[in-house]
Structure 1
Amino acid sequence: MDELVQWLHVRLADDEAHARKDLWAADKATPGRWRARYGTNVAHSWVETESTPVLRLDATEHEADALLVARFQPEAVRKRAEEKLREVDAKRQLLAAYTQVAASDINEWEYANGYANALGMAVRLAALPYARRPGYQASWRPEAGPTT
């Protein structure tokens, strides 16, 4: 499990870095509600906020790009980044608590009635969203509980 804890710390550092970049971008972005302008009746697509151009795309095949960019409202990006930073902090607290008792952890359902085992299960579950990233090991997947 030491390897899982170290691996998960790297994933959390990546998440934190991305969230901090998003916060920086939200602070520097043109304020206001963004919207996309595109269609077959215009020569180009663009993103604007209250008639202030933010981004212009000259080729009509970039309609989807304009729409996607406009969906990333600065205030919504800020909220998601702040939530991600809180999530990273919570997972780091979980890892710190688990590290103190990791030697007693057993990844078997029938023994999952102790503090170390419960924290170990929580760490394994916290790693599941990253299971498709390089380095994730199948042995880290939590044991399935008994079926009813």
Structure 2
Amino acid sequence: MDDLVLWLRAQPDEDERIAREAGGLAWSRPEDPGDPAAIRDSKGERVVCDEGWPSEGQEVHIAEWDPARVLREIDAKRQIIALHARAHHQCVAEDGPTQWHASDPCTTLRLLALPYADRPGYREEWRP
């Protein structure tokens, strides 16, 4: 199997580990602007306390990228990678549909790998 696919399959595992260590729960911003906890998890526990930070924009970002969302995204990525591991899968490349071959991963897999370009093992030749 292609090195990119093997490497790419391991990246969601690391994301999942991080999200689960963060509690794996949905996070939200407080409804009351006077609430000293800027972000709380779905059990009501403080995740980030307001001590002059985060800014409102950071609060929105933190709450939007909570562990629960990350776990849903990991599941979707794993399903996309699994589709590409099937020999009969047809990829749509920039120049039209092509049969995927391990020696030449399609643009979809290259794009899925791009957010992980700063992790060990990423190869510049995988960059789309």
* Structure 2: tracts of 5 or more residues without a match: 26-40
CA distance in 1, matches of 2:111, 2:63: 27
Larger radius of gyration: 1
Contact 2:90 2:97 in 1 (8 A): no
Larger relative contact order (C-alpha < 8 A, sep ≥ 6)? 2
Do the aligned partners of residues 10 and 102 (structure 1) sit closer, same or farther apart at CA in structure 2, a change above 3 Å counting? Answer: farther
Contact 1:101 1:116 in 2 (8 A): yes
Q: Provide Cα deviations, 1:42-100, integer angstroms capped at 9, x if missing partner.
A: xxxxxxxxxxxxxxxxxxxxxxxxx46xx779x938x6111111111011001110000
Contact 1:12 1:88 in 2 (8 A): yes
* Structure 1: tracts of 5 or more residues without a match: 38-66, 143-148
Equivalent residue for 1:3? 3
Q: Which has the higher helix share?
A: 1
Equivalent residue for 2:78? 92
- If the length of structure 2 is used for normalisation, what is the TM-score? 0.61
Do the aligned partners of residues 135 and 27 (structure 1) sit closer, same or farther apart at CA in structure 2, a change above 3 Å counting? Answer: same
Do the aligned partners of residues 32 and 120 (structure 1) sit closer, same or farther apart at CA in structure 2, a change above 3 Å counting? Answer: closer
Q: How many residues align?
A: 105
- In the TM superposition, what is the alpha-carbon distance from 1:123 to its structure 2 partner? 1.1
Q: RMSD over aligned Cα, in angstroms? A: 3.7
The sequence identity of aligned pairs, in percent, is 33
